[in-house]
Chain A
């Protein structure tokens, strides 16, 4: 094998932050090379530099032995490097054809689009990805996350790329879609593509990659063949110390009923859902994407329209609106924390203190900076939020740290019923277990927790009871202490009790 691409001492400095510090490693032609590291380790910055979307402060790259210094995404694409980003990178209102050929539309004289060719080539490409039935005429916003992901891969292939960068490609996919993606990646590798695969999920890496590189705090820590390492060694390299991830014990006694949900329905999202939540209980709500679990979480907080059913808190009916929910002691942590969880133009301190400003304020509502700071400092330390200071604007923090601020904000409100939507999505391994510990601690204090999550580990490791949704209906109600992941998944997929069509 020969080196497809080499990084030589790549550094990238932002004001106040050294995002990358003399990173050197190489990608061998035809390998799947995994890149791992905690949030803020510099993975995204490295990818952007490779893709021409950002430029290194110092250091260089070589592509097949020749110097490679893309000044724009266009240049990198022309040299055969295609990147599939984690962020929403598609045209919501345009159909699959325009999404697939974005930036490289086949055209004839006078830039006239060759629709016939677009269509035929699309069919061929999608068939090679085992996705021949993907509808070409629907706007992308009406396709599932999995199909959009396939479109992005097809877009990269349409450019006849030789090096494919995939940034957390499975984060928005449900298990069957993930399996399909793995098969595609395997297949592409066999066709000779070089793939740089960035993921938080170590299982995926052991399944797909030939080698793995670990970044920590912007530095290259290790590159190893996948056979020469294991999960614990990788985690040690990522967090820089010994670590063992175990779920905290569950509280054994549950208190009185806090929340009662009866026959809650919202057309198109969920139907006839009922459950109760006791003091100190951790109730897991899970299902595939599109099962209605996110919408159910929102509806309980009054942020999703409900057609029928009722919710009571402490035996009294709850009027479904966010303002009323907060007054009655409900808290909600949105899944899309970057857009719904924080206010980027405010400081870290103010973001964390925002839901409890009233409580922190002095007489006549005068804001108390010292109390705000005290509260914020506590959370910054607890969640290890990397920020130059409490007064830093949230928009200047890395994506992962913005998420932690959102999490702190959700937890600082001290709700009696806390609805957490995907609280560990895209967070570091270490923070993930810190969050689990927090959930157990809150549960010990008598807070009722509704954990909306697609992570089956969390269902079996943390929850007292698990509500499995399938196509908006309760497919099963399981005891979290005895349930296993396979059972949950079977209910979520509808394999245990196939519904009559």
Chain B
């Protein structure tokens, strides 16, 4: 009896937010007509796709024990602007424009990584500075104007296309998570990321190139954010300097909700996907329920606190 209670606590502490998520879905399925329909579920997944993809990068940074990267949303914004202007102003083909977005994201990630590993500046400080700087760069670049034009339609298959009943962004989302799952769980790179997050010194003493690994984490996170920027530009059909800012909190929330330890080394990537979808269902469900916008925020906050508090059960059950 005691053991099963301990097991239950253990399970809840690791998967508590999933339980709340399922309860919330069950409630929505009963309370609304439209929640449990294929088109609505596909909408939810499509809306979760960009946050979900960029959150993979955030998860890498958090796993590495580098604190967190608050510049990813700003990278997304800058990349979106660059992709959009590559299409409209330069008239480049979509693939090349996206490549520019990825390169820009990777370059910013590389800069973050160099500042953290070579100059030994705290990761949160570096990325906080980077966030402001990038927003400034994007504003200067766009002159505060919205970039749009018919050539942005080239991104449409990626952002709004369908493969049968399944939106392309959803397929992309699952492909990215499959890859992330593989890399983190089945390769030396992933094993070393968890190792560094668990015990940086032990890893260094075991010959693991800790700094190079951190650097690779920042670069990967930057590239993923760049891809998110291209998707968002395609989804909106336009780009502005501020287009990333709405992603700042969802990206961080998804990783924290997924139970990642901010001191590093703990967390499952598949949980980030679930958390990203959970965040979307909160908004989606409240809209379906017809809750007024301002009240929505209060309820969303309450659901998040509830889900997170279940995660902390273990912290309380242990002295």
A residues with a Cβ closer than 8 A to B are 51, 53, 72-74, 77-78, 83, 85, 87-94, 98, 101-105, 107, 110-113, 115, 155, 267, 304-305
Contact B206 A92 (CB under 8 A): no
Jot down 15 A-B pairs with beta carbons below 8 A, ordered by A.
Answer: A73-B207, A74-B207, A77-B206, A78-B207, A87-B201, A88-B202, A89-B199, A92-B199, A98-B191, A101-B191, A102-B195, A104-B207, A105-B191, A111-B188, A267-B2
Contact B209 A74 (CB under 8 A): yes
Q: What interface size band does chain B fall in? A: 20 to 34
Contact B194 A111 (CB under 8 A): no
User: Given A89-B199, A89-B201, A107–B188 Cβ distance below 8 Å?
Assistant: yes
* B203 CB within 8 Å of chain A: yes
- Give the chain A neighbours of B265 by CB distance below 8 A: 91-94
Per the 8 Å Cβ criterion, residues 221-252 of B in contact with A are none
Contact B198 A92 (CB under 8 A): yes
Contact A51 B195 (CB under 8 A): no
Contact A83 B205 (CB under 8 A): yes
Main secondary structure of the interface of B (DSSP, over half): helix
Contact B199 A73 (CB under 8 A): no
Contact A93 B207 (CB under 8 A): no
Contact B266 A89 (CB under 8 A): no
Q: Given contacts A53-B204, A94-B195, A105-B188, list 12 more A-B pairs with CB under 8 A.
A: A77-B207, A87-B201, A88-B199, A89-B199, A92-B199, A92-B265, A93-B266, A98-B194, A105-B192, A113-B191, A304-B319, A305-B319
- Give the chain B neighbours of A305 by CB distance below 8 A: 319
Contact A102 B188 (CB under 8 A): no
B residues with a Cβ closer than 8 A to A are 2, 186-189, 191-192, 194-195, 198-199, 201-209, 265-266, 319
When C-beta atoms are compared, the residue in chain A nearest to B204 turns out to be: A73
Contact B187 A110 (CB under 8 A): yes
Contact B202 A102 (CB under 8 A): yes
Contact B206 A73 (CB under 8 A): yes
- Cα(A277)–Cα(B253), bound, Å: 52
- Give the chain A neighbours of B206 by CB distance below 8 A: 73, 77, 102-104, 155
Contact A113 B194 (CB under 8 A): no
Main secondary structure of the interface of A (DSSP, over half): loop
- Give the chain B neighbours of A88 by CB distance below 8 A: 199, 202
- Give the chain A neighbours of B207 by CB distance below 8 A: 72-74, 77-78, 103-104
User: Given A105-B191, A111-B187, A113-B186, A93–B205 Cβ distance below 8 Å?
Assistant: no
- Cα(A155)–Cα(B203), bound, Å: 12
Q: Which of B192, B194, B202, B203 is packed against the most chain A CB atoms within 10 Å?
A: B202
Q: Which of B2, B201, B205, B209 is packed against the most chain A CB atoms within 10 Å?
A: B205
User: Given A91-B199, A93-B198, A107–B187 Cβ distance below 8 Å?
Assistant: yes
- Give the chain B neighbours of A90 by CB distance below 8 A: 199, 202
- Give the chain B neighbours of A110 by CB distance below 8 A: 187
- Give the chain A neighbours of B187 by CB distance below 8 A: 107, 110-113
Q: How far is the CB of A31 from chain B (nearest CB, A)?
A: 24
Q: How far is the CB of A423 from chain B (nearest CB, A)?
A: 23
- Cα(A15)–Cα(B71), bound, Å: 38
- Cα(A122)–Cα(B266), bound, Å: 24
When C-beta atoms are compared, the residue in chain A nearest to B199 turns out to be: A91
Q: How far is the CB of B3 from chain A (nearest CB, A)?
A: 11
Which of these, B191, B202, B209, contacts A89 with CB under 8 Å? B202
Q: Which of B186, B191, B204, B208 is packed against the most chain A CB atoms within 10 Å?
A: B191
- Give the chain A neighbours of B202 by CB distance below 8 A: 88-91, 102
Q: How far is the CB of B177 from chain A (nearest CB, A)?
A: 18
Q: How far is the CB of A98 from chain B (nearest CB, A)?
A: 6
Q: How far is the CB of A84 from chain B (nearest CB, A)?
A: 10
- Give the chain B neighbours of A112 by CB distance below 8 A: 186-187
- Cα(A500)–Cα(B8), bound, Å: 29
